[in-house]
Amino acid sequence: MAYKIIASQCTNCGACEFECPNQAISFNDTTYVIDPQKCTECEGDFEHPQCDTVCPVENTCVPA
């Protein structure tokens, strides 16, 4: 399963993009998105998905 970013809540701060160990997060025209093919929910790298950990807005990065 992958995580997703709730676009309406995303502030476009970019913190998540640089924390993703799989480079699964990118900016597309208006907001950040997570590529579900690359997202591993940080399993094997971290105890909790880093996008959710660093996001300043609660419940913006959530399981898809």
Rounded-to-integer distance, Cα 29 and Cα 64, Å: 21
Please tell me the predicted confidence (pLDDT) of residue 24.
98
**Average pLDDT of each block of 10 consecutive residues along the chain (64 residues)?**
95 96 96 97 96 97 96
Q: What is the pTM of this model?
A: 0.91
**Structural domains in the chain?**
3-63 (3.30.70.20)
Which parts of the chain are beta strand (E)? 3-5, 25-28, 31-34, 61-63
Please tell me the predicted confidence (pLDDT) of residue 1.
83
Please tell me the predicted confidence (pLDDT) of residue 27.
97
